Amino acid sequence: MSEQTITAQAAGTWTLGDLPVRRVGLGAMRLTGSAAFHLGVPSDRARSLAVLRRAVELGVNHIDTAAFYFSALRSSNELINTALAPYPEDLVVVTKVGPHREFSGEWGTAARPEDLRGQVEENLRQLGRDHLDVVNLRRMRQDSIAEHFGALADLRTEGLIRHLGISEVEPRHLAEATAIAPVVCVQNRYGLGLHSPQGEEVLRLCGEQGIAFVPYYSVAGQGGPHGATGEHDAEVAAVARAHDATPTQVRIAWTLGRGPHVLAIPGTGDPDHLAQNVAAGALRLTPDETARLDELHRAPAAVARA
Protein backbone atom coordinates (compact mmCIF):
# COMPACT_ATOMS: atom_id res chain seq x y z
CA MET A 1 0.00 0.00 0.00
CA SER A 2 1.22 3.52 -0.80
CA GLU A 3 2.35 5.45 2.27
CA GLN A 4 3.37 8.77 0.75
CA THR A 5 0.31 10.78 1.79
CA ILE A 6 -1.06 8.68 4.65
CA THR A 7 -1.10 10.27 8.09
CA ALA A 8 -2.38 9.14 11.46
CA GLN A 9 -5.70 10.85 10.82
CA ALA A 10 -6.63 7.89 8.59
CA ALA A 11 -6.94 5.64 11.64
CA GLY A 12 -9.65 7.74 13.26
CA THR A 13 -9.67 9.02 16.83
CA TRP A 14 -10.62 8.05 20.36
CA THR A 15 -10.80 10.16 23.51
CA LEU A 16 -8.79 9.46 26.64
CA GLY A 17 -10.96 11.26 29.15
CA ASP A 18 -11.06 14.69 27.51
CA LEU A 19 -7.95 14.14 25.37
CA PRO A 20 -8.60 13.14 21.73
CA VAL A 21 -5.90 10.89 20.27
CA ARG A 22 -5.46 9.25 16.91
CA ARG A 23 -5.81 5.49 17.02
CA VAL A 24 -2.28 4.84 15.76
CA GLY A 25 0.31 6.14 18.18
CA LEU A 26 3.95 5.42 18.97
CA GLY A 27 5.46 3.21 21.64
CA ALA A 28 8.72 4.76 22.82
CA MET A 29 10.48 1.73 24.32
CA ARG A 30 12.40 0.79 21.19
CA LEU A 31 13.70 4.33 20.74
CA THR A 32 16.30 3.48 23.35
CA GLY A 33 17.96 0.66 21.42
CA SER A 34 17.77 -2.38 19.19
CA ALA A 35 16.01 -4.35 21.91
CA ALA A 36 14.37 -3.50 25.18
CA PHE A 37 16.34 -2.02 28.02
CA HIS A 38 19.96 -3.28 28.23
CA LEU A 39 19.44 -6.30 25.98
CA GLY A 40 20.64 -4.77 22.71
CA VAL A 41 22.73 -2.04 21.12
CA PRO A 42 21.85 1.50 22.25
CA SER A 43 20.08 3.55 19.60
CA ASP A 44 21.54 6.24 17.41
CA ARG A 45 20.43 9.38 19.24
CA ALA A 46 19.88 11.54 16.17
CA ARG A 47 17.81 8.83 14.52
CA SER A 48 15.59 8.38 17.57
CA LEU A 49 15.00 12.13 17.79
CA ALA A 50 14.14 12.16 14.09
CA VAL A 51 11.60 9.36 14.57
CA LEU A 52 9.79 11.35 17.27
CA ARG A 53 9.69 14.52 15.21
CA ARG A 54 8.55 12.65 12.12
CA ALA A 55 5.81 10.93 14.12
CA VAL A 56 4.33 14.31 15.04
CA GLU A 57 4.62 15.45 11.42
CA LEU A 58 2.62 12.37 10.41
CA GLY A 59 -0.15 13.30 12.82
CA VAL A 60 0.71 10.97 15.70
CA ASN A 61 -0.43 12.60 18.94
CA HIS A 62 -0.28 9.65 21.34
CA ILE A 63 3.12 8.55 22.63
CA ASP A 64 3.53 5.79 25.20
CA THR A 65 6.59 5.89 27.47
CA ALA A 66 7.90 5.19 30.98
CA ALA A 67 10.80 6.32 33.16
CA PHE A 68 12.02 2.72 33.22
CA TYR A 69 12.41 2.71 29.42
CA PHE A 70 16.13 3.23 29.25
CA SER A 71 19.14 1.42 27.82
CA ALA A 72 22.82 1.78 28.53
CA LEU A 73 22.92 5.21 26.85
CA ARG A 74 19.36 6.29 26.10
CA SER A 75 16.21 7.27 28.01
CA SER A 76 12.89 7.41 26.18
CA ASN A 77 11.61 10.27 28.35
CA GLU A 78 14.73 12.34 27.74
CA LEU A 79 14.49 11.70 24.00
CA ILE A 80 10.84 12.77 23.97
CA ASN A 81 11.62 15.93 25.96
CA THR A 82 14.53 16.86 23.70
CA ALA A 83 12.73 16.16 20.45
CA LEU A 84 9.30 17.60 21.17
CA ALA A 85 9.42 20.22 23.94
CA PRO A 86 7.77 22.66 23.93
CA TYR A 87 5.11 20.07 23.33
CA PRO A 88 2.38 20.48 20.70
CA GLU A 89 -0.93 21.34 22.34
CA ASP A 90 -2.64 18.19 21.08
CA LEU A 91 0.15 15.77 22.02
CA VAL A 92 -0.79 13.21 24.69
CA VAL A 93 2.12 11.55 26.46
CA VAL A 94 1.11 8.45 28.39
CA THR A 95 3.48 6.98 30.95
CA LYS A 96 3.34 4.13 33.43
CA VAL A 97 4.48 3.42 36.97
CA GLY A 98 4.82 0.37 39.17
CA PRO A 99 7.95 -1.43 37.96
CA HIS A 100 11.31 -0.23 39.24
CA ARG A 101 14.75 -0.45 37.65
CA GLU A 102 18.11 0.40 39.17
CA PHE A 103 20.53 2.65 37.28
CA SER A 104 22.46 -0.52 36.45
CA GLY A 105 19.45 -1.69 34.47
CA GLU A 106 18.53 -4.45 36.89
CA TRP A 107 14.91 -4.79 37.93
CA GLY A 108 14.25 -3.94 41.55
CA THR A 109 11.34 -4.57 43.87
CA ALA A 110 8.01 -3.35 42.52
CA ALA A 111 6.90 -0.01 43.89
CA ARG A 112 4.86 0.14 47.06
CA PRO A 113 1.90 2.55 47.07
CA GLU A 114 3.97 5.16 48.91
CA ASP A 115 6.68 4.92 46.23
CA LEU A 116 4.39 5.95 43.38
CA ARG A 117 4.66 9.67 44.09
CA GLY A 118 8.40 9.46 43.52
CA GLN A 119 7.90 7.60 40.25
CA VAL A 120 5.36 10.16 39.05
CA GLU A 121 7.67 13.02 39.98
CA GLU A 122 10.56 11.35 38.16
CA ASN A 123 8.46 11.15 34.99
CA LEU A 124 7.52 14.79 35.42
CA ARG A 125 11.18 15.77 35.77
CA GLN A 126 12.37 13.76 32.79
CA LEU A 127 9.58 14.93 30.51
CA GLY A 128 9.77 18.54 31.68
CA ARG A 129 6.07 18.69 32.54
CA ASP A 130 4.08 20.13 35.43
CA HIS A 131 1.51 17.35 35.11
CA LEU A 132 1.22 14.02 33.32
CA ASP A 133 -1.55 13.52 30.75
CA VAL A 134 -2.20 9.85 31.54
CA VAL A 135 -0.49 7.51 34.00
CA ASN A 136 -1.00 3.76 33.80
CA LEU A 137 -0.53 1.64 36.89
CA ARG A 138 1.28 -1.50 35.74
CA ARG A 139 0.17 -4.37 37.95
CA MET A 140 3.15 -6.35 39.20
CA ARG A 141 1.41 -9.66 40.02
CA GLN A 142 -0.27 -8.28 43.14
CA ASP A 143 -3.69 -9.76 43.82
CA SER A 144 -5.32 -6.38 44.50
CA ILE A 145 -4.46 -3.03 42.91
CA ALA A 146 -6.74 -0.98 45.16
CA GLU A 147 -4.06 0.51 47.39
CA HIS A 148 -1.71 1.35 44.51
CA PHE A 149 -4.46 2.76 42.31
CA GLY A 150 -5.82 4.73 45.24
CA ALA A 151 -2.40 6.35 45.70
CA LEU A 152 -2.43 7.45 42.06
CA ALA A 153 -6.00 8.72 42.44
CA ASP A 154 -4.75 10.96 45.26
CA LEU A 155 -2.03 12.35 42.97
CA ARG A 156 -4.70 12.98 40.33
CA THR A 157 -6.69 14.96 42.89
CA GLU A 158 -3.55 17.01 43.59
CA GLY A 159 -3.24 17.87 39.90
CA LEU A 160 -0.05 15.94 39.14
CA ILE A 161 -1.96 13.54 36.88
CA ARG A 162 -4.82 14.34 34.51
CA HIS A 163 -6.14 10.84 33.79
CA LEU A 164 -5.51 7.31 35.03
CA GLY A 165 -5.15 3.94 33.36
CA ILE A 166 -4.18 0.41 34.36
CA SER A 167 -1.99 -2.22 32.75
CA GLU A 168 -1.51 -6.00 32.82
CA VAL A 169 -4.85 -6.55 34.52
CA GLU A 170 -7.70 -9.02 34.70
CA PRO A 171 -11.41 -8.13 34.64
CA ARG A 172 -11.58 -8.05 38.43
CA HIS A 173 -8.82 -5.42 38.58
CA LEU A 174 -10.71 -3.22 36.13
CA ALA A 175 -13.76 -3.37 38.40
CA GLU A 176 -11.56 -2.65 41.42
CA ALA A 177 -10.02 0.43 39.80
CA THR A 178 -13.23 1.94 38.40
CA ALA A 179 -14.75 1.80 41.88
CA ILE A 180 -11.96 4.17 43.02
CA ALA A 181 -11.51 6.63 40.14
CA PRO A 182 -12.27 6.92 36.41
CA VAL A 183 -10.14 4.70 34.16
CA VAL A 184 -9.50 6.03 30.63
CA CYS A 185 -7.40 3.16 29.27
CA VAL A 186 -6.28 -0.40 29.84
CA GLN A 187 -2.92 -1.48 28.48
CA ASN A 188 -2.58 -5.26 28.23
CA ARG A 189 -0.50 -7.63 26.16
CA TYR A 190 -2.68 -8.56 23.20
CA GLY A 191 -2.38 -9.21 19.49
CA LEU A 192 -3.13 -11.59 16.66
CA GLY A 193 -2.34 -15.06 18.01
CA LEU A 194 -2.03 -13.91 21.63
CA HIS A 195 -5.41 -15.24 22.65
CA SER A 196 -6.89 -15.95 26.06
CA PRO A 197 -10.50 -15.88 27.31
CA GLN A 198 -9.53 -13.41 30.02
CA GLY A 199 -7.85 -11.12 27.51
CA GLU A 200 -10.94 -11.14 25.30
CA GLU A 201 -13.10 -10.35 28.32
CA VAL A 202 -11.05 -7.28 29.22
CA LEU A 203 -11.26 -6.12 25.59
CA ARG A 204 -15.06 -6.53 25.67
CA LEU A 205 -15.50 -4.79 29.02
CA CYS A 206 -13.45 -1.82 27.88
CA GLY A 207 -15.64 -1.43 24.82
CA GLU A 208 -18.82 -1.56 26.88
CA GLN A 209 -17.51 1.02 29.35
CA GLY A 210 -16.03 3.43 26.80
CA ILE A 211 -12.47 2.75 27.98
CA ALA A 212 -9.60 2.64 25.51
CA PHE A 213 -7.95 -0.76 25.11
CA VAL A 214 -4.27 -0.30 24.24
CA PRO A 215 -2.48 -3.56 23.41
CA TYR A 216 1.28 -3.82 23.69
CA TYR A 217 3.51 -6.30 21.83
CA SER A 218 0.66 -6.64 19.33
CA VAL A 219 3.19 -6.86 16.50
CA ALA A 220 6.11 -8.45 18.35
CA GLY A 221 3.93 -11.32 19.56
CA GLN A 222 6.03 -13.96 21.24
CA GLY A 223 9.16 -11.87 20.61
CA GLY A 224 7.97 -9.52 23.34
CA PRO A 225 10.58 -6.95 24.40
CA HIS A 226 13.07 -8.38 21.91
CA GLY A 227 10.84 -7.33 19.01
CA ALA A 228 9.07 -9.16 16.20
CA THR A 229 10.68 -12.40 15.05
CA GLY A 230 9.89 -11.85 11.37
CA GLU A 231 7.92 -15.09 11.28
CA HIS A 232 4.35 -14.60 10.11
CA ASP A 233 1.60 -17.11 9.58
CA ALA A 234 0.83 -17.97 5.96
CA GLU A 235 -2.64 -16.45 6.37
CA VAL A 236 -1.21 -13.11 7.48
CA ALA A 237 1.27 -13.14 4.61
CA ALA A 238 -1.50 -13.90 2.10
CA VAL A 239 -3.62 -10.98 3.31
CA ALA A 240 -0.56 -8.72 3.14
CA ARG A 241 0.09 -9.69 -0.49
CA ALA A 242 -3.53 -8.98 -1.39
CA HIS A 243 -3.15 -5.40 -0.14
CA ASP A 244 0.46 -4.85 -1.24
CA ALA A 245 1.15 -4.36 2.46
CA THR A 246 3.53 -5.83 5.00
CA PRO A 247 2.52 -8.53 7.52
CA THR A 248 3.17 -6.01 10.28
CA GLN A 249 0.68 -3.61 8.73
CA VAL A 250 -1.89 -6.40 8.54
CA ARG A 251 -1.40 -7.20 12.22
CA ILE A 252 -1.86 -3.54 13.18
CA ALA A 253 -4.96 -3.24 10.98
CA TRP A 254 -6.46 -6.41 12.48
CA THR A 255 -5.79 -5.10 15.99
CA LEU A 256 -7.51 -1.78 15.23
CA GLY A 257 -10.42 -3.74 13.81
CA ARG A 258 -11.14 -5.31 17.20
CA GLY A 259 -13.17 -2.23 18.09
CA PRO A 260 -13.27 1.57 17.76
CA HIS A 261 -11.92 1.79 21.32
CA VAL A 262 -8.73 -0.12 20.44
CA LEU A 263 -5.58 1.97 20.01
CA ALA A 264 -2.27 0.83 18.52
CA ILE A 265 1.12 1.90 19.88
CA PRO A 266 3.64 0.04 17.69
CA GLY A 267 7.18 0.83 18.72
CA THR A 268 10.06 1.50 16.37
CA GLY A 269 13.33 3.36 16.14
CA ASP A 270 13.30 3.23 12.32
CA PRO A 271 11.82 6.15 10.31
CA ASP A 272 10.72 3.85 7.47
CA HIS A 273 8.98 1.45 9.85
CA LEU A 274 7.31 4.43 11.51
CA ALA A 275 5.76 5.51 8.19
CA GLN A 276 4.60 1.94 7.53
CA ASN A 277 3.04 1.66 10.98
CA VAL A 278 1.15 4.93 10.56
CA ALA A 279 -0.03 3.88 7.10
CA ALA A 280 -1.49 0.70 8.58
CA GLY A 281 -4.21 2.88 10.07
CA ALA A 282 -5.61 3.33 6.56
CA LEU A 283 -5.62 -0.41 5.75
CA ARG A 284 -9.15 -1.81 5.65
CA LEU A 285 -9.45 -5.59 5.75
CA THR A 286 -12.37 -7.24 4.02
CA PRO A 287 -14.93 -9.14 6.12
CA ASP A 288 -13.57 -12.42 4.71
CA GLU A 289 -9.98 -11.48 5.58
CA THR A 290 -11.02 -10.46 9.07
CA ALA A 291 -12.86 -13.74 9.58
CA ARG A 292 -9.82 -15.74 8.45
CA LEU A 293 -7.53 -13.84 10.79
CA ASP A 294 -10.04 -14.16 13.63
CA GLU A 295 -9.97 -17.92 13.14
CA LEU A 296 -6.18 -17.87 13.24
CA HIS A 297 -6.34 -15.84 16.44
CA ARG A 298 -8.65 -18.36 18.09
CA ALA A 299 -6.70 -21.42 16.94
CA PRO A 300 -5.59 -23.82 19.71
CA ALA A 301 -1.94 -23.10 18.91
CA ALA A 302 -2.56 -19.41 19.59
CA VAL A 303 -4.22 -20.19 22.90
CA ALA A 304 -1.30 -22.39 23.87
CA ARG A 305 1.16 -19.57 23.12
CA ALA A 306 -0.72 -16.96 25.12
d(CA 75, CA 107): 16
d(CA 48, CA 126): 16
d(CA 254, CA 267): 17
Contact 64, 25 (CB under 8 A): yes
Among 69, 190, 216, 217, the active-site one is 69
Sheet holding 132-138, edge to edge: 26-27, 62-64, 92-97, 132-138, 161-167, 185-187, 212-213
Q: Where are the beta strands (DSSP E) in the chain?
A: 13-16, 19-22, 26-27, 62-64, 92-97, 132-138, 161-167, 185-187, 212-213
Report the alpha-carbon angle 225-289-203, nearest 5: 50
d(CA 35, CA 33): 5
d(CA 56, CA 256): 20
d(CA 95, CA 115): 16
Closest CA to 20 of 184, 231, 225, 173: 184
Contact 232, 241 (CB under 8 A): no
Contact 236, 293 (CB under 8 A): yes
Contact 189, 160 (CB under 8 A): no
Decide if 216 is catalytic. no
The catalytic site residues sit at 69
